[in-house]
Amino acid sequence: MAMEVTQVLLNAQSVDSTVRKHAEETLKQFQEQNLPGFLLSLSGELASEEKPVDSRKLAGLILKNALDAKEQHRKYELMQRWLSLDVAVKTQIKACLLQTLSSPVPDARSTASQVIAKVAGIELPHKQWPELISALLTSIHQVPAHLKQATLETLGYLCEEVSPDVVDQDQVNKILTAVVQGMNATEGNEIRLVATRALYNALGFAQANFNNDMERDFIMRVVCEATLSPEVKIRQAAFECLVSISSTYYEKLAPYIQDIFNITAKAVREDEEPVALQAIEFWSSICDEEIDILEEYGGDFTGDSDVPCFYFIKQALPALVPMLLETLLKQEEDQDQDEGAWNLAMAGGTCLGLVARTVGDEIVPLVMPFIEENITKPDWRQREGATYAFGSILEGPSPDKLTPIVNVALNFMLAALTKDPNSHVKDTTAWTLGRIFEFLHGSMVETPIITPANCQQIITVLLQSMKDAPNVAEKACGALYFLAQGYEDVGSSSPLTPFFQEIVQSLLTVTHREDAGESRLRTAAYETLNEVVRCSTDETAPMVLQLVPVIMMELHQTLEAQKLSSDEREKQGELQALLCGCLQVIIQKLGASDPTKYVFMQYADQIMNLFLRVFACRSATVHEEAMLAIGALAYAAGPDFAKYMSEFYKYLEMGLQNFEEYQVCSVTVGVVGDICRALEDKILPFCDGIMTLLLKDLSSNQLHRSVKPPIFSCFGDIALAIGEQFEKYIIYAMPMLHSAAELSAHTSGVDDEMIEYTNLLRNGILEAYSGILQGFKNSPKAHRLIPYAPHILEFLDSIYMEKDMDDVVTKTAIGVLGDLADTLGSEAGSLIQQSASSKDFLNECLSSEDHLIKESAEWAKLAITRAISV
């Protein structure tokens, strides 16, 4: 069955593209025509010592990709495909893989390790290949060191692929023993390194071992010893283990925390950067844990809280804060220009910010002396470090503690932003001003830091800074963004009104800068413009209207550009997306009140025309933004939007069929809802097509799961829009809703992410039921829904019993109970009386602290009372 593939694999890596393409085609055909033979040939190639290393490596890589993929549905297909292969073929492949672990060629061993783990990830959950782990544990004790190394590497990958419940505790103990022994200082560096990396992956399996004091002490000792290894990569891997332990086993750390502090402090001060970064990450991780615990339990610990807070950060403060402040002075010369930059100073500042969120006011007196001492020093590093320290502690401490300091600092910062000779200092100063406006300015804060006395100066300085270097200008845009946001709820008159024209003009000027492509500057300018428009008041509406033709003209110009390179086309797509986003915000703003809406609608035809032309460009982000803007236009235009439907409908269809770029599909589904609300029964001629596509989306296993809840909600929107005309879709929609409801009713024992998704799904299903029931209210055809009422009640019962509904679902669910009674009257009344938990559910909602839930429940109670008394 196997065939000679060496030459083809080498050709597939050729520099000559014709040779390469031909080889790739050959491999593809072989795989399609004879999969078992193909996989056997690859595993034979990987295992054979006579073959060149390049063909062996590629064989292993193709083998790995035949077992796993990024997309969930593809991954599932590949798993099923492997499981259905002939047992003899699989046995032979697995034998080749295990044999390769003893190869003297490092690349071949390493590739085989990864493939073995992928096979284990598929087979172990199905109780297949039970002998694998013991086989690996036996070969750890074999003589050649490279076999031991490859085996440890395999165990590490295996723990990454397989979930802990698949491996029994006895084997877990043996894996951990082998790995921890491999970390011993008597071993060679290569073995110590793979063992330490393997432990990192195995930590999730060590629950029982961490509960045992002796075993935990042993593991902790070995990890701490490895942080002192002479080899930098081992020290880094050991600190990575400590970071993982800090989040996985937080509640077990108390006995070790003092030693860990000493080790991390030494590493931060003296070790190489990759090691020092991980040492800081340990403390950031502890902050994350304590912030979560304190948020969840609000600081008062009753006996039933899962994990108590040990206040490690609070205890470490006097030593931890000085250590972090030292790092702030270790900046790199060009860190502001490089978007992906990450270094000691940035890690230290990030950790300091987390510490401030963990302990609040207590951090301020520990940081202020550092700021006061360094903020006026001649060396830019000291001025920048002091500014960064100040910006980092603005979230966490109370406004009462910070406002007096900010009031003193504000003038100094504004002066620094205009006059400091150093670009780094200006960059950080603008960022800090943004943080001041984000956390200490707005309707929630009692003492305003922005007053009629300083408002003009602040705006003048920020607009001036938008002409500075791109990284400084980008931060200045960010500061203006939060400045505008703080005036969101001011009512009819905003302090920004006198400067509105000047602000908008400055932002538009920034978008046209030659260098606006650097440091995300153009994007930041449009985001800020959107926020300034969104938070503006009626006073400035005429100026927002003047903006419409300006932005339309810009969008028109991007559509006219001819003969672009692919790089230019990508940049242009980004610009079109930004302009569509800007128009969306303007449409929402002007559509919100009648006088401005009336004036704005004169542009509607031209705007719609531009949006339709945008769809001709192939870019998912642009489609998404244009769809959202059209949704806003439909909402503003109301029934008048009908005139665009015949032209727009084909793009709606395209969006609903876009499985690849599922965000586009999801947004399109939302826009269908907007159009339903705008057109009401005028959408009827398009409903057959739309419903067909939505039902097709739901039954596809290729569409990302996040799109399914909005599709169900959309059923409800359509039913509300067309009322009893929805009748012909009932036989398709109701069974879909029923089966999804059964799936989403029970969630026991799954992770938080899944519970969150389940609640989204439930809410979508309930919104569909609600829309359908309301659509049939007072219709002679309402009786068509009676057969489905028991299913709906069963669903409400079962999610009530699960006790894991969030507030949104609770509100929608109690609403559906009311809709049942309201639309179906006495028919529903008797069913509700018989149902298992409707009464308890209603009473619980009536006494809810959430006033929206309470309101819904009071309405439902009225409807039910009416239905029962009929």
Q: 722 CB contacts (<8 Å, ≥6 apart)? A: 680, 681, 683, 684, 687, 775
Query: In terms of Cα–Cα distance, which of 581, 576, 490 is closest to 531?
Result: 581
Cα separation, 101 vs 150, whole angstroms: 6
Q: Which region, left, alpha or beta, applies to residue 515 given φ > 0 means left and ψ of -120 to 50 means alpha?
A: alpha
Q: Kindly compute the dihedral angle of the four CA atoms of residues 101, 103, 107, 108, in this order, to the nearest 10 degrees.
A: -70
3 state SS of 240: helix
Cα separation, 231 vs 190, whole angstroms: 10
Q: Which two tokens stand for residue 268?
A: 């931060």
25 φ, ψ (degrees, to nearest 5): -65, -45
Task: Decide: residue 537, CB within 10 A, 0-12 exposed, 13-18 middle, 19+ buried.
Answer: middle
In the DSSP assignment, the letter for residue 702 is S
3 state SS of 866: helix
pLDDT value of residue 565: 87
Q: Quick count: other Cβ atoms within 10 Å of Cβ 849?
A: 7
Q: Which parts of the chain sit beneath pLDDT 70?
A: 1-3, 143, 298-306, 336-337, 339, 747-750, 870
Q: 205 CB contacts (<8 Å, ≥6 apart)? A: 159, 164, 167, 172, 175, 176
Cα separation, 717 vs 734, whole angstroms: 15
Query: In terms of Cα–Cα distance, which of 495, 422, 411 is closest to 452?
Result: 495
Do 123 and 115 touch, CB atoms closer than 8 A? no
Do 857 and 812 touch, CB atoms closer than 8 A? no
**HSE (CB half, 13 Å, CA atoms) of 622?**
23
Do 655 and 675 touch, CB atoms closer than 8 A? no
Do 345 and 352 touch, CB atoms closer than 8 A? no
What element of type H or E holds 735? helix 730-745
pLDDT in tens, 271-284: 999 999 999 999 99
